[in-house]
Amino acid sequence: MLSYQHVYHAGNHADVLKHITLMSMLKKLTVKSKPMFYLDTHAGSGVYHLNSEQALKNSEANTGIKNLNDSANHLEGLIADYLTVVAPYQQSSQYPGSPMIADELLRDHDTAFACELHPQAFNELQSNSKHSIIKAQNRNGFEALKAMLPPSPNRGMVLIDPPYENAEEYTQVLEQMKVAVKRWPIGSYAIWYPLLSPQRVDYKSGEIVANPKAKLSKLMLASLAELPVKSVLNVYFSPSSPSPNTGMYGSGMCILNPPWQLAEELEELIQQLCSCLSGDANEYCGVSWLKTEAQK
Ligand SMILES: C[S@@+](CC[C@H](N)C(=O)[O-])C[C@H]1O[C@@H](n2cnc3c(N)ncnc32)[C@H](O)[C@@H]1O
């Protein structure tokens, strides 16, 4: 059953990290005029209303886009470009999802697909992407990943952004990635993952209990780094420290075959995000190589 709805989280710190990283990758992949392939396996509905009852339930955008706006005048480079993309949506209290962010950077001769399984989110995605380069598909993104690779054109990237509501989804990402890199070893892949606090407050009893899912991202990253690709980069950001009250205190992107010089650009991004959203650099923010070409 699909119960996850991204509107509750739209524009939070994790969306900010994911969408700026996506922009950085697409900017680098579109430097060459040759056409590229883009697949978003878990697309969501494309546009979110930040004044909706759902978005205001926990006001998660306050940890991300709304907080960044306060520093907008001082920001340069990638973050400034991201704010320029988001600004027209914000005029009507909206926030763009990954398909709309990608559409800003893709060109008419590129090939782009966005998969969404939830019927209502798909209808919204279809309507929101009507005038875009993105072809919305109402199908399982993991199944599409298998079916579409290797793609034509044979250069480009895949964004994988599952809800991770169930522990099985971590294993599913890994299993699907094993197949994907076998079919398309030269593609770039960006896999979003949550950083969860080791303990959480049980919503029924109010007691602090262990969160068994907290270790799963780390285990998944270790296995992703073993896949037969040239290099694996990890970028992660958290505006706060782990705490039972926070649940997801941060997030990261595991990037297989990152485009040339992505790491340097993301280093700068993380420093800026830390100074705008978390007050200062902390141990839960950084960029690190999980595998380099020399280790292949
Ligand atoms: C985290 S949200 C996506 C957010 C979006 N990528 C963004 O950044 O704006 C995950 C979405 O995946 C959808 N979903 C869950 N399982 C799926 C699957 N197997 N295939 C395609 N979509 C799926 C959910 O309905 C939800 O809309």
Q: How many residues does the chain have?
A: 296
Using DSSP's 3-state secondary structure scheme, residue 157 falls into strand
Which residue owns the Cα nearest ligand 1 atom 4?
44
- Distance from the alpha carbon of residue 141 to the mean position of ligand 1, in angstroms: 8
The confidence score (pLDDT) of residue 273 equals: 92
Q: Is the peptide bond before 244 cis (omega within 30 degrees of 0)?
A: no
The confidence score (pLDDT) of residue 75 equals: 82
> Over the stretch 111-159, which tens digit does the pLDDT of each residue have?
999 999 999 999 999 999 999 999 999 999 999 999 999 999 999 999 9
Q: How many CA atoms are closer than 13 Å to the CA of 287, on its beta-carbon side?
A: 19
The confidence score (pLDDT) of residue 282 equals: 75
Spans in the chain with pLDDT lower than 70: 1, 279-281, 294-296
The confidence score (pLDDT) of residue 39 equals: 98
Closest atom of ligand 1 to CA, residue 45 = 27
In CATH, which superfamily holds the domain spanning 6-295? Vaccinia Virus protein VP39 (3.40.50.150)
> Over the stretch 154-181, which tens digit does the pLDDT of each residue have?
999 999 999 999 999 999 999 999 999 9
- Distance from the alpha carbon of residue 163 to the mean position of ligand 1, in angstroms: 6
Cα 46 from Cα 27, distance rounded (Å): 20
Q: Are 267 and 287 contacting, i.e. CB atoms less than 8 angstroms apart?
A: yes
The confidence score (pLDDT) of residue 280 equals: 60
H or E, element range at 286: strand 286-291
The confidence score (pLDDT) of residue 294 equals: 65
The confidence score (pLDDT) of residue 281 equals: 54
Which residue owns the Cα nearest ligand 1 atom 6?
43
The confidence score (pLDDT) of residue 194 equals: 98
Known binding residue 49? Answer is no
Per the structure block, which two tokens stand in for 133?
Answer: 């380069």
The confidence score (pLDDT) of residue 1 equals: 65
The confidence score (pLDDT) of residue 163 equals: 97
Q: Which burial class, exposed, middle or buried, applies to 4 when counting CB atoms under 10 A from its CB (0-12, 13-18, 19+)?
A: middle
- Residues having CB within 6 Å of any atom of ligand 1: 2, 4, 6, 15, 18, 42-44, 97-98, 115-118, 121, 140-142, 161-163
- Distance from the alpha carbon of residue 156 to the mean position of ligand 1, in angstroms: 20
**Is 70 assigned a catalytic role?**
no
The confidence score (pLDDT) of residue 283 equals: 82
- For 153, other C-beta atoms within 10 Å of its C-beta total 12
Cα 249 from Cα 217, distance rounded (Å): 13
Query: Domain spans of the chain?
Result: 6-295
